[in-house]
Amino acid sequence: MPEPGPIVGTSPIRKEGLAKVTGRAQYVDDITLPGMWYGATVRSTIARGCITSIAYDPAIDWSQFTIVTAADIPGENTIIHLTKDHPCLASENINHPAEPILLLAHPDKNVLHAAVEAVHVTYEDFPGVFTIEDSETGAAGDTSKVVWDHRGHGGSPNTFKTFLMQKGDDPLADSALQAAFQSADFIVEGEYRTGAQEHLYIENNGVIAEAFRAPNGSLDSITVSGSMQCPYYLVHALELVFNLPAEKCRVIQTETGGAFGGKEDFPSVIGSHAALLAMKSGHPVKICYDRAEDLIATTKRHPSRTRHRTAVSRDGKLLAGEIEVAIDGGAYATLSAVVLSRATIHAPGPYHWPHLTVRAKAMATNIAPHGAFRGFGAPQSLFALERHMDKIAKAVGLTPEELRRRNFLATGDHTATGQHLTDPVDMQGLLTRALHESNYHAKRAEFDRTNLTSTIKRGIGFAAFMHGSGFTGSGERRLNSLVKIKITPEGRPCILVSSTEFGQGTNTILSQVCAQTLRIPYDEVLVAQPDTAIVPNSGPTVASRTAMIVGKLVERASESVLATLGLPPHSAPLLSSRSAAEGSASPLDEPSNYTADQFRTTADQFRTTAVAYLAAHGSLTAEARYEAPNNIFWDDDQYKGDAYPTYAWAVYVAEVTVDTLTYIAEVKNFHALQDVGKVIHPILAKGQIEGGVAQGIGYALYEKCVYVDGLMRNNQMTNYIMPTSADLPPIHVHFEETPSIHGPQGAKGIGELPMDGPAPAILNAIEHATGIAFTEIPLLPEDIFERMSCTPVGSNEVGGTEDFKPAIDHDTRVEANA
Amino acid sequence: MRSNVADFTLIAPPTLNATLEILACDSSLYTPIAGGTELMVALSANRLAQKNFLSIKHLTELRFIDATPDAITIGSGTTFTDIRRHAVIATDLPLLNQAASWTGSIANQNRGTLGGNIVNASPAADSPPALLAYDATVTLVSATGTRTIPYRDFHLGYKKTVLRPDELLYSIKIKRNFGGYITYTRKVGTRNAQAISKVALACLALLDNGVVRDIRIGAASLHETPIRCTATEQSILNQPSTPSTIAAARAALATEVRPIDDIRSTAKYRAAVAASLLEEFLRTLSG
């Protein structure tokens, strides 16, 4: 037996790492099934209208193809998420560009593109709605601009969902808030906007579907394998599309090359499509999008507009706030209501608000549906808040640091939803450490001095924020997640979960938790491929919930295995608050209660005991189901209570340069400090933070979806500009570890957290460098140029990147016959 | 991949002569392809109008760098990696070395060729401003003979060049007489690497007692072709680089650039940044 691997708090190699680096890992496009055909999608060329005819070009021999339309759907023509407004295939109305209308399959994938082009669809064209403002006009009564029919789906015209979140139980809360505004020394208002963002997972969306028939020829079952985050979401979608029971809809996750939320809701669409083609053709059917199709047709981050109106006292105390959050949900409801919920709850940030009202709404437009993306609403509303806090500081005459210090939430305080913060919260300490690590004060003074003469202006800024771990509100109760551990005939534990690995480390950290609890080497633990025929529903792999919620269930199931085998329970190491060294696996991180020899002993002992148990009883499967802590309560109607079991807290510091010759802003240094409970795997945790910061830098300064009539026109990696390593600064990752009772060994969620802080920290730094308070991202050099050179502050004149002409590209031949 | 590769043909004649013979017979039939780093982007997007290709990637006759005491001659099939690795180019032609390093990714530099960069005729290409500043000449070859012309006369308009369908670009020649020159080049792209330029300048100047005795300014993404900014040069020639010269040069530049709004940037941003880069260059001449 090899030397026992390190366990929780150390960095063993990833479970699937060797297969990935040696090229053995099978992604969906590597897999070919016997007799497999290939599928393609005919999409709308307009944003809004009605289909008037569909004609098939006689130049193509259509008898070779399988053609699926909405009429072929055996069940309901819907992609189910929260409601049934989203058709699987458009049959009559078109609500966004690139909407799927018809599906084709053929044994030779090379002929598909020409066939797609040879399906001629004509339309009656209606004017589209492409902005939150236009959608609001429809919501306000202009029926020509109503693009979403709310009937039967909740909501109201053009409005998928609204939330009203009010601090306090007093029925007079509103008048108390107004009174606070009346007596305030300052009232500070601001409007902030964020753009759409593409996930840019390395592997595009792709699936292979099979349909099986009963002896009488009727459809018996469906199996879909592919790249995804949430196999059971797809099971649910297939149940409706095929009118089959859940056990007849089998979903298998294949190795997944990145997701970031982009494979949370969308696989329900592509998975249903491939399954329809498989059903009709009688062949397995693979659909893998190319990058251009993935970019125009799949989900993006919700664009947002957030307005703040804040009452502040002369000494910098927040007295009252009114926040309006509006997000653009695109053409269908999909997950917009839950994205909006997270945006709403994170809008007040880590601050104490005596009086607060947040009004939030998700609006419909004729753009492909926006969906889940790392952060899930929080980056949008936290961008607004953390820019606004700097604006308030300026108005009151305090430093950004001092303003925040006077308003931070602390242990024992209540959040805006009334959640009592019983876990330790130390934003003051985090801010002190982050500013110290980044040498903030000295740099601020230095830049103030050197900027007077330099053409390159430097700035430093920060953002303070938090991210709720796990599903919002009563979500975890409803999910009712289940985890199993099955003992193999060799006496090894195999973890059975639907929680998926897509680069973030699910397999590895769950194995660490299991190994630590069973006191066996990490290498002894197996993880089953997520296959809904085998694994229980441990919930979707989203919402920063896997380490904390599923990890805790793995810990409990492992304890149950020990109990069944009559082995002594694991004595958890004493939980204590301390700082971890930056990304390192120091000897201090080794589990201190067992030596390597003792690990080996317990591994042998475990196997022997397990095999003996199997001989006596036949099998051993332990399970653990989520049990909501009885002190957690959430009221969905009042929007009050414990919004999340716990939060990860953070302060990020960005250092920027703005070149006054080129108007290019670059991030030159970055410090990310967060309290994440317990770092399970230092290398993976550091990687999560670095990757999130890089994605946040892209969100702030590079990545702009350029739409024309609702269609993304820069749908290639040559013109959707994500930062490369040459654009990224050193990213210094620092952790504090204040354990939470909700996660294994005290761990909280970190997956989404690093997406929330970079954008406001960077724009705060740019304001320091230039003196200009930018309020919108992405902020490109053309936008900075507009403000520094031409357009007076406060002017309504649009310019900068608004003037991009995406149909013109003189560099490439692509535009030549576009 | 939106194109069906079965719709395309590719032939690869063994020698340059054989290639030129085929082009002489029916030049309308084939499009020469070297590294393919431009054409493959169009293929992937199903926007490649040409269907028949003639590969010249393997022709060793086109891949050489010949340095004599007087000049450096570069075969059109020379890759950007070849250029970056060449010691004499690094010392004598820093503008070209720098441009090669800015071109695409490392993989692009391994495949992409200097000749392809020129004949593709993108106004945003990385190497033309340097070649214009160095006053390169280009030699074109066909089955019926060769001709050598100044590179500055090569581009006729947007994606139009003097190259006949039966001709190939054979080589690019640059004189080695820039020893005393001050060099300046800067590319402003969409990001720091793997980017297409929004604006780029490549400049050379020779000073004599603080007076500009020779000046060459090549520019990308400011016109429908790569350009030499001759009016700007004239405004600086025989002047010391003073604030008034700089102001005159900025004004002259505005008269000869024709930037556009496109998918990457705006006309006014390009014009403003071009003027800023020009000023940055001229300030280095002020001593």
DSSP code of A572?
Answer: P
**How far apart, in whole angstroms, are the C-alpha atoms of residue B130 and residue B52?**
32
| Residue in B with minimal Cα distance to A784 | B269
Q: Give the three-state DSSP class for A30.
A: helix
Q: Which residues of B fall within a CB distance of 8 Å from A787?
A: none
Burial of A531 (0-12, 13-18, 19+ CB in 10 A): middle
Q: Which residues of B fall within a CB distance of 8 Å from A807?
A: 263
Q: Which residues of A fall within a CB distance of 8 Å from B2?
A: 113, 290, 292
Q: Report whether A621 contacts A524 (CB < 8 A).
A: no
For A53-86, the three-class secondary structure string (H helix, E strand, C coil) is EEEECCCCCHHHCEEECHHHCCCCCCCCCCCCCC
User: Domain spanning A304-472+639-803: which CATH class is it, in words?
Assistant: alpha beta
Token pair 């790392």 is found at A374
Q: Is the pLDDT of residue B132 over 60?
A: yes
User: Domain spanning B182-284: which CATH class is it, in words?
Assistant: alpha beta
A593 interfacial to chain B (CB closer than 8 Å): no
Q: Which of A568, A570, A804 is nearest to A706 (CA)?
A: A804
Q: Which of A460, A386, A483 is nearest to A670 (CA)?
A: A460
- Greatest C-alpha distance within chain A: 84
The tokens describing A25, both together, are 């890992």
DSSP notation for A181-209: HHH-SEEEEEEEEE-------SSPPEEEE
Q: Strand order of the sheet with strand A93-94?
A: A93-94, A49-56, A119-125
Backbone angles phi, psi at A40, to 5 degrees: -145, 165
Give pLDDT, residue A33.
98
Q: Report whether A476 contacts A470 (CB < 8 A).
A: yes
pLDDT digits (tens, 9 = 90+) for B84-116: 999 999 999 999 999 999 999 999 999 999 999
For A601-653, the three-class secondary structure string (H helix, E strand, C coil) is HHHHHHHHHHHHHHHHHCCCEEEEECCCCCCCCEECCCCEECCCCEEEEEEEE
Q: Give the three-state DSSP class for A143.
A: helix
Q: Mean pLDDT of residues grouped by 10 in chain A (818 residues)?
A: 63 96 97 98 98 98 98 98 96 98 97 96 98 98 95 95 88 88 97 98 98 97 98 98 98 98 97 98 98 97 98 98 98 97 98 97 98 98 98 98 98 95 95 98 98 97 97 90 98 98 97 95 97 98 95 97 90 40 40 60 89 97 93 87 95 98 98 97 97 98 97 93 97 97 94 98 98 98 92 56 82 50
Q: Is the pLDDT of residue B80 over 80?
A: yes
Q: How many CB pairs under 8 A join A and B?
A: 131
The C-alpha of A672 sits at a distance from chain B's nearest C-alpha, in angstroms, of 23
How far, in whole angstroms, is CA A114 from its chain's centroid?
A: 35
For A106-121, the three-class secondary structure string (H helix, E strand, C coil) is ECCHHHHHHHHHCEEE
Q: Which fold has domain A31-126+202-258+263-297?
A: Aldehyde Oxidoreductase; domain 3 (3.90.1170)
The C-alpha of A548 sits at a distance from chain B's nearest C-alpha, in angstroms, of 37
For A699-751, the three-class secondary structure string (H helix, E strand, C coil) is HHHCCCCCEECCEECCCCCCCCCCCCHHHCCCEEEEEEECCCCCCHHHCCCCC
* One-letter amino acid for residue A84 of the chain: K
* One-letter amino acid for residue B225 of the chain: T
- Write down how long chain A is: 818
Q: Report whether A43 contacts A560 (CB < 8 A).
A: no
Inter-chain CB proximity A290 and B2 less than 8 Å: yes
The tokens describing A426, both together, are 């130390």
Give pLDDT, residue B2.
83
What are the Cα distances from residue B133, in Å, to A811, B181, B218, B220? Answer: 21, 11, 5, 12
Give the confidence band of B27 by pLDDT, cuts at 50, 70, 90. Answer: confident
**How far apart, in whole angstroms, are the C-alpha atoms of residue A420 and residue A791?**
47
A605 interfacial to chain B (CB closer than 8 Å): no
Q: Give the three-state DSSP class for A425.
A: coil
List A38's β-bridge partners, or say none: A106, A286
DSSP code of A587?
Answer: G
Q: Which of B3, B194, B265 sits opposite A724 (nearest CB)?
A: B194
**How far apart, in whole angstroms, are the C-alpha atoms of residue A798 and residue A787?**
10
Q: Which residues of A fall within a CB distance of 8 Å from B124?
A: 810-811
Inter-chain CB proximity A810 and B196 less than 8 Å: no
Q: Which residues of B fall within a CB distance of 8 Å from A785?
A: 268-269, 272-273
Burial of A38 (0-12, 13-18, 19+ CB in 10 A): buried
The C-alpha of A39 sits at a distance from chain B's nearest C-alpha, in angstroms, of 13
A785 interfacial to chain B (CB closer than 8 Å): yes
Domain boundaries, chain B: 5-55, 60-175, 182-284
CATH code of A17-25+481-625, in short, is: 3.30.365.10
A661 interfacial to chain B (CB closer than 8 Å): yes
Q: Give the three-state DSSP class for A802.
A: helix
* One-letter amino acid for residue A807 of the chain: A
| Residue in B with minimal Cα distance to A723 | B191
Inter-chain CB proximity A716 and B45 less than 8 Å: yes
**How far apart, in whole angstroms, are the C-alpha atoms of residue A414 and residue A145?**
41
Instruction: Respond yes or no on whether ipTM tops 0.90.
Output: yes
Angular region, A210: left φ>0, alpha ψ -120 to 50, beta rest: beta
**How far apart, in whole angstroms, are the C-alpha atoms of residue A301 and residue A196?**
5
- Please calculate the CA angle A263-A269-A270 and round it to the nearest 5 degrees: 80
Mean pLDDT across B8-18: 97
Q: Which of B2, B196, B269 sits opposite A113 (nearest CB)?
A: B2
Inter-chain CB proximity B262 and A809 less than 8 Å: yes
Token pair 């060049």 is found at B161
The tokens describing A687, both together, are 């990687």
**How far apart, in whole angstroms, are the C-alpha atoms of residue B233 and residue B217?**
7
Inter-chain CB proximity A724 and B224 less than 8 Å: no
Q: Report whether B48 contacts B39 (CB < 8 A).
A: yes
Q: Report whether B136 contacts B151 (CB < 8 A).
A: yes
Please compute, for residue A165, the number of CA atoms within 13 A of its CA located in the half-sphere on the CB side.
Answer: 32
Q: Which residues of A fall within a CB distance of 8 Å from B185?
A: none
Inter-chain CB proximity B47 and A113 less than 8 Å: no
Token pair 């110290």 is found at A436
| Sign of the Cα pseudo-torsion (A815, A818, B6, B12, in order) | negative
Q: Which fold has domain B60-175?
A: 3.30.465
Give pLDDT, residue B271.
97
* One-letter amino acid for residue A343 of the chain: A
List B140's β-bridge partners, or say none: B147, B169
Q: Which residues of B fall within a CB distance of 8 Å from A799?
A: 266
Name the CA dihedral angle for B118, B123, B127, B128, rounded to a multiple of 10 degrees. 70
Q: Give the three-state DSSP class for A202.
A: coil
**In chain A, which segments carry CATH 3.30.365.10?**
17-25+481-625, 304-472+639-803
Inter-chain CB proximity B190 and A809 less than 8 Å: no
DSSP code of A778?
Answer: S
Q: Which of B191, B189, B193 is nearest to B220 (CA)?
A: B189
Q: Report whether B113 contacts B168 (CB < 8 A).
A: no
- Beta-strand relationship, A578-580 and A526-527: unpaired
How far, in whole angstroms, is CA A573 from its chain's centroid?
A: 32
Q: Which of A666, A810, A817 sits opposite B123 (nearest CB)?
A: A810
**How far apart, in whole angstroms, are the C-alpha atoms of residue A628 and residue A517?**
21
Inter-chain CB proximity A808 and B261 less than 8 Å: yes
Inter-chain CB proximity A811 and B273 less than 8 Å: no
Q: Which residues of B fall within a CB distance of 8 Å from A713?
A: 263
Q: How many CB atoms lie within 10 A of CB B154?
A: 24
Inter-chain CB proximity B188 and A662 less than 8 Å: yes
Inter-chain CB proximity A714 and B42 less than 8 Å: no
Bond into A100 cis (ω within 30): no
DSSP notation for A252-306: EEPB----TTTTTSTHHHHHHHHHHHHHHHSS-EEEE--HHHHHHHS--PPPEEE
The tokens describing A735, both together, are 């952790």
DSSP notation for B42-79: HHHTT-----EEEE-TT-GGG--EEE-SSEEEEETT-B
**In chain A, which segments carry CATH 3.90.1170.50?**
31-126+202-258+263-297
Inter-chain CB proximity A726 and B193 less than 8 Å: yes
**How far apart, in whole angstroms, are the C-alpha atoms of residue A173 and residue A762?**
35
The C-alpha of B272 sits at a distance from chain A's nearest C-alpha, in angstroms, of 8
A110 interfacial to chain B (CB closer than 8 Å): yes
The tokens describing A734, both together, are 């620092």
